[in-house]
Structure 1
Amino acid sequence: MSIFDDDRPKKPSAHEIGSDLSLLSVDELKARIALMQAEIARLEAEVATKASGRKAAENLFRS
């Protein structure tokens, strides 16, 4: 390990919407796609959770 490792620019660990993709390798692009697909799944799960909670509340107050 070099003493200059801290001086190297670090690659961002997450994808930034609208960032320049031209300098990324195919593997880096695939990794970002996987990261974003996982985030989409997480967001969809949260939407489903909130929708079911809202529906349960609506049913409770309709009775």
Structure 2
Amino acid sequence: MEEPDRPRPSGDAASRLGHEDLAPYSQAELDERIALLENEIARVTAHRDKAAAHRTAADALFGKGGG
């Protein structure tokens, strides 16, 4: 189970990917990598949109600003 009060590790996977040498990859491997990254972008976008909708609903229910 995740513990939300624990800090996230510094540096994330996307940052590490941005520094990786792509020269050893074939065109087919690069195409596969692009497809995986596009799927991850879609997953993150969907999560962001869900979180925004949740926040909007909470603001509408409880009032914006809380104080």
TM-score (norm 1): 0.70
What is the number of equivalent residue pairs in this alignment? 48
Unmatched runs of 5 consecutive residues or more in structure 2? 1-15
Q: What is the letter of the counterpart of residue 27 of structure 2?
A: V
Equivalent pairs: percent with the same residue?
A: 42
Deviation at 1:46, TM superposition (A): 0.2
TM-score (norm 2): 0.66
- 3-state SS of 2:54 partner: helix
Greater gyration radius: 1
Structure 1 stretches of 4+ with a deviation exceeding 2 A read none
Q: For residues 16 and 53 of structure 1, what CA distance do their matches in structure 2 show?
A: 30
**Greater length-normalized contact order (CA 8 Å, ≥ 6 residues apart):** 1
The two structures, once aligned, show a CA RMSD in angstroms of 1.4
